[in-house]
Amino acid sequence: MDENKDIAVEQHESAPVDSQTASAKEVEGATTTVFDPEKETKLRRKIDRFIVPPVALLYLFCFIDRANIGNARLANLEVDLGLRNQDFNIILSMFYITYSLCEIPSILLCKYIGPGYFLPLATFGFGIVTIGTAFCKNKGQMIACRILLGVFESGMLPGVAYYLSRWYRHAELSFRLGMYMLMTPLSGAFGGLLASGILSLDRVGSLTQWRMIFAVEGIITSGVAFILLFLLTDSPLTARWLTSEEKELAISRVMSERVGQEEVLDKMNLAKIKNGFSNPIALVTAFIFFCGNVVVLGISFFLPTIIRTIYPGVTTVRQQLLTVPPYLVGAFFLLLVSWLATRYNTRQVFIFFSAPTVMAGYAILLSSMNANVRYAAIFLTASAAFFGGSLCNAQCSANTVSDTARSVAIGTNTLFGYLGGLVATWTYLPWDGPMYPIGNGLNLAVSGAIGVASIGGLIWMRVDNKRRDARTPAEKEELLMGMSRVEIGNLDWKHPDFRWKP
C-alpha cells in the first residue's frame, strides 16, 4: 500500500508505553492539555476543506444508488420485471439483510486497511453493482443486485463516521457529521431531479426508462470513487497537506479526550471490541437510530409512492419533482441542528426534540384526506427525521474512548439502524394505500419510542456521572491499583475518570 495511507500508530508524548503500573493521577493529567485557539481554528478549517467534501460526495452517491429504486418504480420498473403484490418490498428487504450482516465486519475491515482505501473502493464496488442493475431482466436478478449492493454499502455510514472521529474533537464532530449526513436528504432531492432529467431523455445507449437511471448514476458513482481513491488519506499522521506542526496539533487534540489511551490508532484487541459492543449509551443510541431509520428510510423509499397517491393526476416527471422540496427542508434542519449540537456540545436533547415533530407529521397523515394538508405533513416529518443520523453517530463517538471501541460502537449503531431499514421496507404495502394506516401508524409509534429512549438515556447519563463524581481520588487510585498501562487503556468507558457526554 501507498506509504501515505499506511495506518500509523504513534505514541502520545506525555504517555510513553511500558508495562509499569499507572496511577489515576497520571492518566488524568494527560487529558488537561490546553491548545492555542487560533492555531486550532486554522487547523480545523483546513481539515474541513480537505476531509468533509470528499466523504460527503461519496455518501451522496451511496444514498442515491440505494434509494434510486424508488424513482425507478415510477418509471415502470415493476411492469418491466413482472413484479406483483409484495415483490417490490421483498427486493428492498434483500438489501438490508446483507447490509446489516456485513456492518461489523465492514467497519473492522475499514479500520484494518484504512478508510483512505476502504471508502473509495467500497463506493466503486456499489457503483459497478448499480450499473449492473440497469441490465436486470427479472425479479431474481434484481434481488441478486440488491444483495451485492448491501454488501458494498454496509461499511459506508459507519466508515465515514469513524473516519471523521480520527480528525475532530467530540464537540466538533456533530456538525461535521451533519455536513456529510446532509447528503441523505440532498440525495433525495438531487436524486429526484437527476431521475427527472434522465427520464426526459429518449435513451442512453440501448437502455430506456428506469434502466437509464441506474446506468447513469452508477457510472457517475464509479468515476467519483476512482478519483477519490487517490485523494483521501487515512489520518492526520499521513496527510501530505498538513505540516509537521499541524500533524502534531491534530494528534494532540484527539488524544486529549481519550482517557487512559496512549495511541491514536490503537491495535485491535478483544477487550476493546467488547467495550464497543457493550457500551450502554451506544446501545441506547443504536435503538434510537433503529427507530429513526424506520422513518428516514421509509421516506427515502416510499416518498415517490406516497406523492403518487396524493397527486395521482399529475405526470410522472412532476411527481418526481414534488419529492424534492421536502428533502430540501430536511437538509436545512439537519444542518441547523447539527450546528447547534456542536455549538452547545450536546446531542441527546436535540434527539429528543425530533420525536414530537415527526409524530405530529404522521398524526396528520393518518387523520387528513386533504391532498395539500397531507403534502404539508410530509414537510413536517422531513424537518426532524434526518438529523438523527448525525447526532446518533456523534453520540457514539463522544461516549467511547479507544479507536477500536469507537469503530465497533459506531458499527453497532449503524447495524441496528439499518435493521430499521429492513423494517422500513415493509411499512408501505400496496394494499394499504392510499392512506397507509399501517405505515404511517408504525412511524408514529417509533417516533414516540425515540422520545422515550432519548430522555431515558439522558437521565441515566446524569445519574451515573454523579456517581462517578462522588468517588474520591483515593477510591479512583484504588480502582486502578495494580493495572498495567495496557490494562488501563482497555478500560475505555469503565475508566473512573471517564464521564458520559450528553
Share of the chain above pLDDT 70, in %: 90
- At residue 21 the predicted structure's pLDDT band, cuts being 50, 70 and 90, is very low
More confident: 465 or 35:
465
pLDDT of residue 31 exceeding 70, the answer is no
Grid coordinates representing 398? 463522544
Spatial neighbors of 197 by CB under 8 A, at least 6 apart, are: none
The tally of CA atoms less than 13 A away on the side-chain side of residue 448 is: 9
CA-CA distances (angstroms) from residue 314 to 67, 317, 320, 373?
A: 22, 8, 10, 17
pLDDT-based confidence at residue 27 (cuts at 50, 70, 90): very low
The fraction of the chain above a pLDDT of 90, given in percent, is 19
CA 141/CA 135 separation, integer angstroms? 9
State residue 259's pLDDT score: 61
Indicate the average pLDDT of the chain.
82
3-state secondary structure of 146: helix
Rounded to an integer, the average pLDDT of 156-165 is: 85
DSSP calls for 36-85: -HHHHHHHHHHHHHHHHHHHHHHHHHHHHHHHHHHHHHTTTHHHHHT--T
Task: Give the three-class secondary structure for 263.
Answer: strand
What's the pTM value of the predicted model, to 2 decimals? Answer: 0.73
Say if residues 306 and 376 touch (Cβ distance below 8 Å).
Answer: no
Among 75-79, 239-243, 352-356, 449-453, the minimum mean pLDDT is found in 75-79
End-to-end CA distance of the chain: 39
Whole-number pLDDT of residue 9: 35
Angle between helix 388-398 and 156-165 (nearest 10): 50
> What is the reported pLDDT for 188?
66
Is the pLDDT at 23 greater than 70? The verdict is no
Span 418-447, pLDDT tens digits: 788 788 878 888 788 788 898 889 999 999
Q: Is the predicted pLDDT of residue 265 greater than 70, yes or no?
A: no
Which residue type does 8 have?
A
Return the SS3 of 234. Answer: coil
Q: Does position 26 have pLDDT exceeding 50, yes or no? A: no
Q: ∠278-283-285 over CA atoms, to 5°?
A: 145
> What are the beta bridge partners of residue 484?
21
**Residue 179 pLDDT > 50:** yes
pLDDT at residue 178 greater than cutoff 90: no
d(CA 213, CA 204): 9
Q: What integer is the mean pLDDT of 185-189?
A: 70
Peptide bond into 434 cis (omega under 30): yes
Q: How far apart (Å, rounded) are the C-alpha atoms in residues 420 and 437?
A: 19
315 or 379, which is more confident? 379
Rounded CA separation 483/479 (Å): 9
Would you state the pLDDT for residue 125? 92
Confidence bin at 236 (pLDDT 50/70/90): confident
What's the CA gap between 484 and 262, in Å, rounded?
12
Q: Is the pLDDT of residue 296 over 50?
A: yes
**DSSP class of 313:** T
Q: Is 207 helix (H, G, I), strand (E, B) or coil?
A: strand
Instruction: Give the pLDDT score at 131.
Output: 93
Mean pLDDT is highest, among 130-134, 189-193, 478-482, for 130-134
Q: Which residues on adjacent β-strands are paired with residue 263?
A: 11
So what's the pLDDT on residue 19? Answer: 35
DSSP 104: H
pLDDT tens string 84-139: 888 888 888 888 888 888 888 998 898 888 888 999 999 999 899 999 999 999 99
Grid cell listed for 375: 403534502
User: What pLDDT score was predicted for residue 12?
Assistant: 36
pLDDT confidence of 263, banded at 50, 70, 90? low
Q: Which domains does the chain have, with CATH numbers?
A: 36-233+269-494 (1.20.1250.20)
Return the number of other C-beta atoms located less than 10 Å from residue 344's C-beta: 12
| pLDDT, mean of residues 384-393 | 84
Q: Which amino acid is at 340?
A: L
How high is the pLDDT of residue 455? 94
> Which residue type, as a one-letter code, is found at position 281?
I
